[in-house]
Structure 1
Amino acid sequence: MNMQNFIDFLNEKPLYYKEIDHKRVHIAYDILKSHIKRPTTIHIIGTNGKGSTGRILAYLAYKKSTRYPLPATRLSVGHYTSPHILKFNERIWLNGEDVSDEVLEAAHQKLFGILGKELSDALSYFEYTTLLAFVVFENCDLMVLEAGLGGEFDATNVCDKELSVITPIGIDHQAFLGESIEEIAATKIRSIQKKALLAPQTYPEVVEVAEKIAEDVGATLVVAQREKDRRQEGTHKGHPYELKAIANAKGWPHFLTENAGVAMQALEILHIPYDMNDLKELELFGRFYPLTENIRIDVGHNPLAAKAIVEAMDAGTVLIYNSLDDKAYEEVLRILKPKLKRVEIIKIDSQRATILEDIEKALMQVDIPFSYFEKTEADETYLVFGSFYVIEAFLKCMR
C-alpha cells in the first residue's frame, strides 16, 4: 500500500472541526488494540495544568527508574500532550525526550497499515495522532495521556486506564463542553473508570460532580491534599518542606508547585517510586518559563490560568498578548491588569485568531495602554501569554 510520509499526511488534516463523529475513533481503536500492547495508563483530564502535571509525573517515574541497577527493572515511560509549540514531536515524549522523526514515521507506517487508507484519512488530526501515540508507547511500562478538549468524548478516552487525574476545571470551550461549570466538569469527569485523583479545585461544584460520578461508576475517588497541608502533615516521601524549597529555587509559581504535588500523589496511588530531587533538573518549557532574565513565557489562555499566574507576576510587567476567538480575553485582561504596565499585541497565525480590532476594543474597555509588539527591551519585564500560538509567534520573532 502506497502511503504518504507522516508529516505530509498530517498536514492535509484540518486542525478544527465544527462537528466530530465520536464513534469513529472507537471503531479505529477496536481495530488497532489487538495489534499493540497497552501499558499501565494514567489519563489526565481537566482545564488547566494538564501538561505540567503529566510531564512532572512522567519525568519523575522515568528518572527514578534510570538509577535501578538492572536495566530490566527500569521503567519505559511515554507522555502524550498537546498542542505543540514549534514541532509536532513535542506531543509525544518518550523516556526523557521528544520522539524522533524516525520513530514517528515507523509508527505512522504501522498504524496506517493496520487501519487502512479510508479510516486513516477519515480520522481527525487529534484522533489519528492519539492512536499514533498508542503505537509509539506500546512497549512502555507507563503511558500518561493528556486529554484534549474534554474527557468523556475525547479521543484519549478510548482505552482503559488505571488512574484518572483531574486537574483544575474552569470555564472554557463552552461550545463543546457546556455552559456551566457543572456541565463542563461532568463532561470531563465521566471519563473516569477505576481510580481517580482530584486536584485542588477553584470551584466547589467540581468536587460535588466528581463525588457523584465516582459513586455512579463505582470508582475510588481520592481528593488531593493542597501542598501546604501535605507539608504540615509531613506526608511527602522525603522532607515535608523539600518540594517548596525546590520550587522556590526554580522560581516556580504556586500553581506549578501544586501540580507537582498532585503528580507525586498520583505516583503514590499506583505505588510507582519517585525521587522529588529529580525535579531540580526538570524544565517545563512554556509554563511560566524563564526564557531570559526578563522574559517569561506561559501557554495559559483562560481566566483560570490568568488567576493562577497573576499571583506570580511582577508589578509593572509588559504583557505580550493575543487570543483565540473563543476565549474570554477581556476577562483575562481584567484579571492581569493590576500587575501590568502595558500590553503589546503580537500577531498570530491561526484561523481561530481574534480580530485585532476586538483585542484593541477589549484593552480600551479595560483601560490598559497598548501598542503592537516589535521587540523587547532589556530594561523591561515581560510575560508572553495567551496561547500556544502566541508563544510560537514570539519565539519566531526572537529567532
Structure 2
Amino acid sequence: MPRAYKSIKEQVKIPKIIHLIGTNGKGTTGRFLATALHKSGKKVLHYTSPHILKFNERIWIEGQDISDEYLDSLHIKLQKLLDKEFIDTLSYFEYTTFLALLAASDCEYLVLEAGLGGEHDATSVFPNILTLVTPIDKDHEAFLGNTINSIATTKLKAVQTKAILAKQKHTEVYDVARKLACENCFEVKKVEDYITSEDKEKIDSFAKENNLASYLVDNLSLSIAALKELGIEYNVNHFKNGKLFGRLTRLADNILVDVGHNALAAESIAKSLKGSKYTLVYNSYKDKDYRNILEILKPIIQEVLLIDVDDQRIEEKEKIEAVLETFTIPYKKFETLESERSYLVFGSFSVVEAFLKVYRE
C-alpha cells in the first residue's frame, strides 16, 4: 500500500483527512462528523466499511451514497493510474481505499475510517490532520494481539499529529497514548477536554429527542470534539439523520438491528436495552468470543434464533448451540417472525445482511 500510494501521490489531490481508529463506533462517529460538516457547507466524503447490502454504502459524498456511474468512472481512472503490479496485488480493502481517495479529490474534508488495526492499515498511509480514537477493546486478537496494551499500541501507532480519545473503558489505552505521544511527538487530548457543560446540555437534549443509545451519545460527543478542534461551529440539528444504518436501528416497532460483533458492542446494547426482553436473531464468526457476547446479552435474551449465514468464516452451529445450552438460553433455527415478539438482530454485518434479505422479501 505505501509503495502503491507513492507511485501515484503526485497525481492525486489529498483533502484534509480526519482519520478514525478504534474498536467500536468508528462508523457512527464518522457519519455524525461528516453530516455536520456537510450541513455546515463543507464538501466532505465519509469512507466506512464494511457495507451491508451494497458497496456504495462505503463511500458517502455530499450527503448520499456514491452513484454507480461515479464509482465506475473512478474505477477506470484508478486502473489507468496504478501499475499492473499494484492492480494485481492490492487487497480488496486497499483498492477500495484508493477509490475513496480519488472520489474525495475535490472535497475539503475526507473522514477516513480505518479497517483493521491502525499502524499497518491501508488508510494510515495518507497524511492526516487529526485522528479520532473511538473506544478500544479486544477484537481481531489473531491480528492485533490478545491484550489491551498490544491492541491499543497497534492502533495508536497510526496517529500522526494530533489525537482525540473518546471515553475509554480501559485505563491502559490512556497510558499507551501518553507513552506513544512522547515517543512519536504527537499531541493527545481526551474528549472531555472539549465538551463543556453547555455542550452536554445540548447533547443530552438531542439524545433524548432522537432516542439515542448511550454509546451513540459517546460517538456524537467525539464528533463534536472534532468539530471544535477544527474550529467549526456546530448546531445539534446538523446531526439529525447522521446515525448510520445498522446501529440499533429500528426496522419496525418490534425489530432492532445492530451490526456489532464483539463484547464491547454487546455491553453497550445490554446497557441500552436493560429491563426489556428480546428474541435474539444471531450467528457468529469463528474468531469472535461468542461465549462472552452471549453471556453479556443473556439478561435481555428471551430466546435465540440462529440464522443461516453463507460465509466460510461462520462458526459451526453445534458449537454455538453448546454455549447456549450452557447458559440455559432457549434456541431454535430462525424461520419466521411473530408480530407479538420483540427482536434484536445482532452478530455482524453478515447477520444483519442475511436477516434483511429475508425481511425485505
Q: Give the distance between the partners of 2:294 and 2:270, measured in 1 at CA.
A: 10
Q: 1:119 and 2:108 equivalent?
A: no
The aligned amino acid for 2:263 is P
State which of 114, 133, 136 in structure 1 corresponds to 2:103: 136
RMSD, aligned CA? 1.3
Q: Give the distance between the partners of 1:272 and 1:28, measured in 2 at CA.
A: 34
TM superposition shift of 1:116: 2.7
Instruction: State the match for 1:29 in structure 2.
Output: 5
Matching of residues 40-55 of structure 1 within 5 Å: 40-55=16-31
Instruction: State the match for 2:220 in structure 1.
Output: 260
TM superposition shift of 1:365: 1.6
Q: Give the distance between the partners of 2:89 and 2:244, measured in 1 at CA.
A: 34
The aligned amino acid for 1:303 is A
Q: Secondary structure at the match of 1:225?
A: helix
CA contact (8 A) 1:316 1:341 kept: yes
State which of 167, 192, 206 in structure 1 corresponds to 2:134: 167
Instruction: State the match for 2:307 in structure 1.
Output: 346
Matching of residues 11-160 of structure 1 within 5 Å: 25-65=1-41, 75-160=42-127
Q: Secondary structure at the match of 1:296?
A: strand
Scaled by the length of structure 2, the TM-score of the pair is 0.97
Q: Which runs of 5+ in 2 are unaligned?
A: none
| 1:28-74 CA-partner distances (Å, limit 9, x unpaired) | 11112111110000000000000000110111111121xxxxxxxxx
TM superposition shift of 1:283: 4.1
Matching of residues 182-261 of structure 1 within 5 Å: 182-225=149-192, 230=195, 233-236=196-199, 240-261=200-221
The aligned amino acid for 1:348 is V
TM superposition shift of 1:119: 1.4
Instruction: State the match for 1:302 in structure 2.
Output: 262
Q: Which runs of 5+ in 1 are unaligned?
A: 1-24, 66-74
TM superposition shift of 1:235: 4.5
Q: Give the distance between the partners of 1:182 and 1:338, measured in 2 at CA.
A: 30
User: How many pairs does the alignment contain?
Assistant: 359
The aligned amino acid for 2:52 is I
TM superposition shift of 1:317: 0.9
Q: Secondary structure at the match of 1:342?
A: strand
Matching of residues 358-397 of structure 1 within 5 Å: 358-397=319-358
TM superposition shift of 1:109: 0.8
Instruction: State the match for 1:279 in structure 2.
Output: 239
- Greater mean deviation of Cα atoms: 248-257 or 274-283: 274-283
TM superposition shift of 1:271: 1.1
Scaled by the length of structure 1, the TM-score of the pair is 0.88
The aligned amino acid for 2:221 is G
CA contact (8 A) 2:112 2:123 kept: yes
Instruction: State the match for 1:319 in structure 2.
Output: 280
TM superposition shift of 1:349: 1.5
